[in-house]
Structure 1
Amino acid sequence: MSYQFITSAKLPTKHGDFDIHIFENDAGDEHVMLTVGLPVTSPNSSEANTTTQAVTKLAADTLQQTEPSAAPLQASACKAPLVRIHSECLTGDAFGSLKCDCGPQLNAAMKAIQQAGCGAILYLRQEGRGIGLTNKIRAYALQDQGHDTLDANLLLGLPGDARVYDMCAPMLAHVGIDTLRLLTNNPNKVSYLTKHGIKVSERVPLFVGLNDHNSGYLATKRDRMGHLFNEEL
């Protein structure tokens, strides 16, 4: 599967100003990257129709030439930008669901990257850990009957986690990132990036959004899915 950069624009938010970049794969699936203090390619440039290999070369060639859009940076910030890989969660990100911690994680990541002055959020369109919105709600119904988040997927005949991260390398290459600090509790994300030649200089924990409705969900992610949480849970 190859990925192409499509377009970019400014995106002012309640957390600060970002640049928003859109990517599309061969199947027409769209993925989003928000950046601060990183190169921005004009949507009118010829690169909008190139392959991911050309995107990688252009990012490397223009990294030192393109003026970042954010405020002045600390020198160390852009040597290892702060990056969050976040999979789409309509219920948590848009509707404020308390069943998960996705919405608070996204907002905390946006704040942290603004504070760092250099970084990116890769917003991947793979709802419900990759099983899609309809199946996610079916899994929610099973959770309402007492099953945990992992068993609910398995009872539907679906993987516990069907997400893939093959789009991350070309998206990061687009803005010249080959070394980063990763904002995550999931060691699988660290392993994937490392296997694909991206250096993770630090894993930065992100524990937010604990409430009475999602404490069991978070415990399942820790105890059965290998997520790394501190003692707060």
Structure 2
Amino acid sequence: MQFLTHNASARLPTQYGDFDLHVFHDNRTNVEHIALTCGDIMRSPQPLVRVHSECLTGDVFASTRCDCGEQLHHAQQLIQEHGHGLVLYLKNHEGRGIGLSNKMRAYALQDQGLDTVEANEALGLPVDGRSYEAAAEMLAFFEINTVRLLTNNSAKRSALETLGITVHQQVPLLTQPTAENLKYLQTKSAKLGHIIPDLMG
């Protein structure tokens, strides 16, 4: 059952190169998801795809508590270098699905010594409450069913495969750890199964 409506498209020049930006309205949640496309993706076998969860603090305000903004921009660069691919930007995914207010509450607990998983659990919230139906439907809109997925998160790969997307290859999307986000990255590696080679002892 389809729940997305494709509303609008336009060219979007960026510092990484030109993309086409497509806006999809989610009729279940009344939010708008975005697909950034590069090249002739409908003729490209196994295009590079980044399924990116909205992160206001990292993507917009350049927070160093996470690596989200860096991953987004690195994905744009890799897709441009490759010549074709997509970034699927999913709304309602802030803080792995807990929302911005709860994310700030979790940050406050992290400042007291908890890691990201422990903070969510202390608030009685899911460790990861995201779903990826919107990503699968946007890929279907572009007639794409096989991808090379830009992610370190094997759970994201499994979720897409459950929705009928064939992940031909999981392509690492690595950033340089900093003093501010090292514990965050270590927690993703140790507790959430992210494949981050430099942190996997």
Q: TM-score, normalised by structure 1?
A: 0.81
- Opposite residue 36 of structure 1, the aligned amino acid is C
- Opposite residue 166 of structure 1, the aligned amino acid is E
In the other structure, the counterpart of 1:163 is: 130
What is the CA deviation profile of residues 13-62 of structure 1, one whole-angstrom value per residue up to 9, with x for unaligned ones? 010000001111123111111000136xxxxxxxxxxxxxxxxxxxxxxx
Q: Which runs of 5+ in 1 are unaligned?
A: 40-62, 65-77
- C-alpha distance 87-123 of structure 1, shift in aligned 2 (>3 A): same
In the other structure, the counterpart of 2:35 is: 33
Q: What is the CA–CA distance in structure 2 between the aligned matches of 1:197 and 1:31, rounded to whole Å?
A: 20
- Opposite residue 52 of structure 2, the aligned amino acid is H
Displacement of 1:209: 3.7
Larger CA Rg, structure 1 vs 2 = 1
Instruction: Pick from 211, 215, 224 the counterpart of residue 191 of structure 2.
Output: 224
- C-alpha distance 209-89 of structure 1, shift in aligned 2 (>3 A): farther
- 1:85 matches 2:51: yes
After TM superposition, what 4+ stretches of structure 1 lie above 6 angstroms from structure 2? none
Q: What is the CA–CA distance in structure 1 between the aligned matches of 2:53 and 2:173, rounded to whole Å?
A: 15
In the other structure, the counterpart of 2:146 is: 179
In the other structure, the counterpart of 1:99 is: 65
Instruction: Pick from 82, 89, 112 the counterpart of residue 123 of structure 1.
Output: 89
2:186/2:199 contact within 8 Å kept: no
2:189/2:199 contact within 8 Å kept: no
- Opposite residue 18 of structure 2, the aligned amino acid is D
Displacement of 1:231: 2.4
Q: What is the CA–CA distance in structure 2 between the aligned matches of 1:232 and 1:166, rounded to whole Å?
A: 30
Q: Percent same amino acid among aligned pairs?
A: 51
Instruction: Let me know the Cα RMSD of the aligned residues.
Output: 1.4
Displacement of 1:232: 5.1
- Aligned partner of residue 128 in structure 1, secondary structure: helix
